[in-house]
Structure 1
Amino acid sequence: MKQIVTLFLAVTCALTAVSQTKQKTPDYAKRLSGVEKELEKVLADQKVAGYSVAVVYKDKVLYSKGFGYRDYENKKPVTPNTLFAIGSSSKAFTAAILGQLEKEGKLKLDDLATTHLPQLSFKYDYMNTGITIRDMMCHRTGLSRFDYSWYLFNTSNRDSLIQRVKYMEPNTKLRQKWQYNNFMFLAQGMIAEKITEKSWEDNIQQRFFVPLKMTRSNTNIFTTQKDPDASLPYTLDEKSAITKIPYYNINGMGPAGSINSCANDMANWVSTWIMDGKFNGKEIIPAAYVRDASSAQMVVSGGRPGEHPDIQFSNYGLGWFLKSYRGHYLVEHGGNIDGFSANVAFYPSDSIGIVVLTNQNGSAATDIVRNILSDKLFALDPIPWNADAKKRMDEMMEMKQKVKNSTDSLQVKNTHPSHPLKDYAGLYGNPAFSEFMVTWKNDTLFTFIAGEKTWLKHYHYDVFEFKSVDKKDDSPEEDDNHFLINFGTANNGKIESASIEMDEPGQATVFARQPIKVNLSGDDLNKYVGDYDLEGMTVKIYLKGTTLMLLVPGQPDYETVSVGNDTFDLAIAKGYSIKFTVENGNSKAVTFIQPNGNFTAKRK
């Protein structure tokens, strides 16, 4: 028995010694030999203008190369230093600033968000007293995307943007469901600004770009546009042709996605994460935060294996998506902004990082290329990622045409607006979004939205389509967006609202018609002041500072808002207004315009 035990111990020790022997690192660079042929095919099959790639092992760049064109029309090639917008791949940068601040003792990720950012206020008290910084970092606040709020109504004023949050209705309870929300990353960037007393842009530059030698990177699209090795933005039109589109300036929502970078610079970023937050031996991101951020914080979806049984689970860390890719732990984040897509990924257990940046809008190429490279690096049987995606793209284009045809079939022909077109002109607003103005010119309705002038083409009844406008001569252009706006009529017969389907299909966001304020001086307002007889009842019009007030016996004082043409809306009574009759510079009468009729009072 003793001999058997001795033999068992000897074998165990031998096995332990073997397991502790340092395994030889695979020749990853050799495994990538000849990959260009496949990557060029992705370029052609996915109809991409261009993209760049970088692959790192620990702190070494194994491979970096550009494919296709940064300027498709002039055939200027992509290089590993070509600048692309990386969109939401920026989120890990913003969250990492807070990871640094936690180590510096400036905050804790489990602090209430509102304690660090007084400008941030949620709609309900339980949200203000419950939502932590960590909740915002992993998208579990109960708020859905509300992306059209910042995308269609962008502004460089971050205080203005963050104030919209308090009007956003949650659609689920706190921490109950993962829901992507860019405003929560704006808030994180603003928390960093408040604590450091530096702009988010300066924090990114000083905390990451400089120490990581990301000398090509910036946070401003105008800086990118001036760069001689910057990519132009492209999309596929309805005929799958590569088409140049305008740059989108995301500066206001910068912390959620305004970094512009190149493959070589981003290689340093992923290498830092692989090396537990160190770059060239110096800690840039706290190691404890690196582990926290790349560990599961919230379930995105069930992640049960589907078509590919060795691709499992779908979780979210802090600014990173987490997945199991064919037996390898994958940390990644995509990015999309007009004309650009990105995927930044690393396999912490394998010390491998992959960056793919492209100038195609909403591109599948970034994931395809990452997966092709991953299969080669890990010596896995290849999956036809590109062929499968090409088939899906062809099916999607066919489906788009069917959707267009079905949308056209929903149109009720030979109908007319219920009002003259000029009646739809006005200011419309929703506090969770912003305001937009509809104007009437040459018997045509226009609006200015998402930074562009847009034609409102009659669709049916009081529903209109958003259509592009030729920038040269303001003439309408036909396109296929089928983005609809539905005007609503009040009981008094006037247009009172405009509804647009925003974030959730089938759920319209209502923009109430707003009074267009006209600023008048005290002298201008004095002509309206006086007592008016309304069927034996005295109604008083008086000034409170520079505001015209209305006093009806037995009712509270009403503040009015000048909307021009001697007309004033009651500030707190929607649908109610007063219009003065002025002769020779003095008011002779006032007419009360309200849903149940119009009533005129003569001046005493």
Structure 2
Amino acid sequence: MKLFVLISSLLTTVAFSVQAQKNSKTTDQIPSIDSVLNQVLKDQHIAGFAVAIVKGDEVIYSKGFGYRDIENKKPVTPNTLFAIGSSSKAFTSSLVGLLEKEGKLKLDDKATSLLPQLSFYNAEMNNQITVRDLMAHRTGLSRYDYSWLLFNTANRDSIISRVKYMKPTSGVREKWYYNNFMFLAQGMIVEKISGKTWEQNIKEKFFIPLEMTRSNTDIKQFENDSDAALPYVTIDSTNKKIDYYNINGMGPAGSINSSVNDMANWLKVWISGGNFKGKNILPSSYVGEAASSQMVMDGGLPKGRKDIYISNYGLGWMLSSYRGYYEVEHGGNINGFSASVAFYPTEKLGVVVLTNQNNSQVPDVVRNSIVDRLFQLKPIDWNGDAKKAAEAVSKNNKSKKKEKNIVPNTTPSHQLKDYVGDFETPAYGVVSVTNEKNGLYAQAGNNRLYLKHVHFDVFEPKDVNKKGVVDTSSSENLFNFFSDNKGKISGLTIQLDPDKEPVLFTYKPKIKVLDIKLLQSYVGDYELGKTIIKVYLKANTLFVAVPGQPDYETLVVDDHTFDIKVLKGYSVKFEILPSRKVASLSFIQPNGTFVAERKIN
């Protein structure tokens, strides 16, 4: 199971030659830049990328390199569409900034007051967290990315409802934690106040006035575009095409698809302080706030380079000092695509780099290589450093593969059919396990997975693409099933984050509806020693009443077995005589089974 937005692999792959485009813009202000970018394309072994450079209100360079479609050798152009991922966040926060300008909210308003669907883990968070906290990633909630990556849906209310089950890692404003759900919340606030979808707002407020005619927020429109890049991931020095990822419900966090020519117009707005071709697009006050520090990301001390430091976050932007220049930037990574959008306010310079390589170093390498030359700094060999880093990661990954600890000659503890069912945790969603053609498969959101047996009750998930082809590469997101005291499969854990504890998914019994006559046959009094236990019906649901205890609602397991809803591991089973009459009731508990005979009136 590979969710490429989170994978840190920086392996290299086969290079493709630079494709010079007729509609590219170049300038002599960037000495030898084409040869540098050519070398990046070759050394980083990627499919392709595109670059645009803005100086003031003019695009001084725009060009495509390599291929948007390797198999058919279709070149990248400055108008080629790429998914920009989290570089979309500045757009979403800017919609909130426009609402503040219109007097419809304040950035320091309580977030839950503006969006009733949003609820946090505890009352303190509900009362403290403001819209600004959402915008600056300072709620204390860590990423929880697998919650939406694996269990995405078009229903935004459904996704945002998971937040209340997400335990914070720190107190509010104590520490910076990146969290995509907080940008979904901003998008939903915009929808609620404006009465229009986030997608409509993005189009009306930015795409149309900024003449971003190539840009969209729709995966189908993206896929069907005649000049759209295909997504690739690099595995063992080979570019492998993967499926597009439909962000849909989580769109406000990163669903914009654009070209470098279109994104150049977006950069012009920020460089100018909010304007485009004489029209005001964003309030200058908001531009200043968004590009100013709102939260410290980390210590920001120089690491390896003494002239690169500071690590802060604004509103949808990351802030740092790059070799003596104030840098405002945000990257983007989504399955098969990487991006960097940056501007330098004091120099009125902007650079956008988009590539169709998953989790790529290329946007950073290209941006820094360009800026070094434009600012007439002694160039750093960013490309060489990235190449060495990729080789080190590749070597490390190969070493990890050899270290896999697999216990040989083991088998699952149950028949495959016993693993079938739905497993749920409220902060994430439901994993549905099925037995097909003598193999286990899992469905998590839109993701179909084949579960390959590793050892004991541990299985390794393998992606199954839209054509039904099973991915052969390895995954660390292992599924580990476990049983209850009765020996029945009762849950599973999934190692979603290698640095955290596995996430527990509990077996979710399917709701079975029994005939009312069968249910009525269970109703009556049962004797357990001197204790009389009553079984009764309420709204077609069977209840068990034990003296001195609350009445227990039951859930149907099969025709004669019911689980106690509020007590895990507790169930009741009715014994049926050949005459179809109920003879007794057995309480099945962790400490034993207790039989209550039916009382004959």
Q: 1:417 pairs with 404, 412, 417, which one?
A: 412
**Residues of 1 paired with 2:109 and 2:498: CA distance?**
31
Deviations 1:44-76 (A, max 9, x none): 211111111111111111111111111111011
Gap change, CA 1:470 and 1:259, over 3 Å in 2: closer
State how 1:549-564 maps to structure 2 within 5 Å.
Answer: 549-564=543-558
Q: 1:428 pairs with 389, 410, 423, which one?
A: 423
User: What secondary structure is seen at the aligned counterpart in 1 of 2:61?
Assistant: strand
Task: Establish whether residue 381 from structure 1 lines up as the match of residue 378 from structure 2.
Answer: yes
**Residues of 1 paired with 2:165 and 2:213: CA distance?**
40
Q: 1:532 pairs with 526, 530, 536, which one?
A: 526
Q: 1:440 pairs with 403, 424, 435, which one?
A: 435
Deviations 1:513-572 (A, max 9, x none): 222222346456334333334445433222211322222222211111223343322211
Which residue number in structure 1 is paired with residue 301 of structure 2? 304
Uncovered stretches (5+) of structure 2, i.e. residues with no partner = 1-25
Contact 1:49 1:69 survives alignment (8 Å): yes
Q: What is the Cα deviation at residue 126 of structure 1? A: 1.0
**Residues of 1 paired with 2:471 and 2:326: CA distance?**
48
Letter in 1 for 2:401: K
State how 1:323-472 maps to structure 2 within 5 Å.
Answer: 323-406=320-403, 408=404, 410-449=405-444, 451-469=446-464
Letter in 2 for 1:548: L
Gap change, CA 1:243 and 1:536, over 3 Å in 2: same
Which residue number in structure 2 is paired with residue 316 of structure 1? 313
Contact 2:476 2:495 survives alignment (8 Å): no
Q: How many residues were matched structurally?
A: 574
State how 1:213-252 maps to structure 2 within 5 Å.
Answer: 213-237=211-235, 239-252=236-249
Q: What is the Cα deviation at residue 419 of structure 1? A: 3.2
Letter in 1 for 2:310: F
Deviations 1:443-500 (A, max 9, x none): 42221135232222222233221124476567x6532223212223333433322112
Contact 1:143 1:179 survives alignment (8 Å): yes
User: What secondary structure is seen at the aligned counterpart in 2 of 1:402?
Assistant: helix
Range 574-583 or range 337-346, more displaced: 574-583
Deviations 1:221-268 (A, max 9, x none): 11101111111110112x220010000000111110011111111011
Contact 1:527 1:585 survives alignment (8 Å): no
Gap change, CA 1:308 and 1:468, over 3 Å in 2: same
Contact 2:150 2:447 survives alignment (8 Å): no
Contact 1:145 1:503 survives alignment (8 Å): no
**Residues of 2 paired with 1:439 and 1:601: CA distance?**
36
Task: Establish whether residue 149 from structure 1 lines up as the match of residue 147 from structure 2.
Answer: yes
Q: What is the Cα deviation at residue 307 of structure 1? A: 1.4
Task: Establish whether residue 121 from structure 1 lines up as the match of residue 119 from structure 2.
Answer: yes
Letter in 2 for 1:572: V
Which residue number in structure 1 is paired with residue 186 of structure 2? 188
Which residue number in structure 2 is paired with residue 508 of structure 1? 502
Which residue number in structure 2 is paired with residue 66 of structure 1? 64
Gap change, CA 1:536 and 1:225, over 3 Å in 2: same
**Residues of 1 paired with 2:329 and 2:518: CA distance?**
62
Gap change, CA 1:471 and 1:336, over 3 Å in 2: closer
Q: 2:573 pairs with 569, 574, 579, which one?
A: 579
**Residues of 2 paired with 1:255 and 1:542: CA distance?**
49
Q: 1:290 pairs with 279, 287, 291, which one?
A: 287
Contact 2:430 2:444 survives alignment (8 Å): no
Which residue number in structure 1 is paired with residue 106 of structure 2? 108
Q: What is the Cα deviation at residue 173 of structure 1? A: 1.5
Range 490-499 or range 582-591, more displaced: 582-591
User: What secondary structure is seen at the aligned counterpart in 1 of 2:414?
Assistant: coil
Which residue number in structure 2 is paired with residue 16 of structure 1? none
Task: Establish whether residue 208 from structure 1 lines up as the match of residue 206 from structure 2.
Answer: yes
State how 1:27-176 maps to structure 2 within 5 Å.
Answer: 29-176=27-174
Deviations 1:10-37 (A, max 9, x none): xxxxxxxxxxxxxxxxxx9321254222
User: What secondary structure is seen at the aligned counterpart in 2 of 1:30?
Assistant: coil
Contact 1:562 1:569 survives alignment (8 Å): yes
User: What secondary structure is seen at the aligned counterpart in 2 of 1:29?
Assistant: coil
**Residues of 2 paired with 1:585 and 1:222: CA distance?**
57
Letter in 1 for 2:29: R
TM-score (norm 1): 0.91
Letter in 2 for 1:453: R
Deviations 1:255-289 (A, max 9, x none): 10011111111011011011111111111111101
Gap change, CA 1:336 and 1:450, over 3 Å in 2: farther
Contact 2:477 2:496 survives alignment (8 Å): no
**Residues of 2 paired with 1:482 and 1:143: CA distance?**
24
Q: What is the Cα deviation at residue 39 of structure 1? A: 1.0
Gap change, CA 1:564 and 1:83, over 3 Å in 2: farther
Q: What is the Cα deviation at residue 84 of structure 1? A: 0.7
Larger radius of gyration: 1
TM-score (norm 2): 0.91
Range 119-128 or range 437-446, more displaced: 437-446
Task: Establish whether residue 591 from structure 1 lines up as the match of residue 589 from structure 2.
Answer: no
Deviations 1:101-129 (A, max 9, x none): 11111111111111101111111111111
Gap change, CA 1:450 and 1:365, over 3 Å in 2: farther
Larger RCO of the pair (alpha carbons < 8 Å, separation 6+):
2
